[in-house]
Amino acid sequence: MEHRIIGCGNAARGDDAAGLLVVRQLRAWGADALEHSGEGLSLMESWRGHDAVIVIDAVVTGLAPGAVTVWDGREAPVIRDGGRSTHAFGVAEAVELARVLGRLPARLLIYGIEGRGFDLGSAPSPEVVAAAEHLAQRLFRD
């Protein structure tokens, strides 16, 4: 199936760039993929009209840096571990709002790449760079 691939993040924020690194790699190989800031509402717009969507984002779940977790967005809530998001409307909020409004794509996979450092101006850590490359290969093959 033709997937819409969307990588989220901020390139100036260390490991937050994880999703963007995957997209850039895919594009370098000639695949179609979209860079996105991760702002939730426009993210919902960016998958509109696509039946199969893959979103890649940096996450912090407590695993080792570079670890990749996959969530099926159609299944139970994504990355909402009891904490409340107060000021940002991000990827997890986009998925949950889309679920309520019936705007989820028929297939939605979310790949989370575990990040470690998010300092402004820092480079992504080697584990995240390697994980992004590896994930890009996997998605490219599929």
The residues that touch another protein, with contacts defined as CB under 8 A, are 8-13, 16, 35-42, 44-45, 58, 60, 83-91, 93, 96-97, 100-101, 115-121
Contact 2, 29 (CB under 8 A): no
DSSP-derived secondary structure letter, 22: H
Indicate the residue among 99 and 107 with the shorter CB distance to another protein: 99
**What is the closest distance, in whole angstroms, from the C-beta atom of residue 73 to another protein in the complex?**
14
Structural tokens at position 10: 């901020």
DSSP-derived secondary structure letter, 117: -
**What is the closest distance, in whole angstroms, from the C-beta atom of residue 47 to another protein in the complex?**
14
**What is the closest distance, in whole angstroms, from the C-beta atom of residue 3 to another protein in the complex?**
20
Report the alpha-carbon distance of residue 13 to residue 5 in Å, rounded: 21
User: Among 21, 33, 34, which Cα is nearest to 66's?
Assistant: 21
Indicate the residue among 48 and 138 with the shorter CB distance to another protein: 48
What would you report as the CA-atom Rg of the chain, rounded to the nearest whole angstrom?
A: 14
**What is the closest distance, in whole angstroms, from the C-beta atom of residue 25 to another protein in the complex?**
19
Q: At what angle do helices 126-141 and 18-28 cross, to 10 degrees?
A: 50
Indicate the residue among 18 and 135 with the shorter CB distance to another protein: 18
Indicate the residue among 37 and 137 with the shorter CB distance to another protein: 37
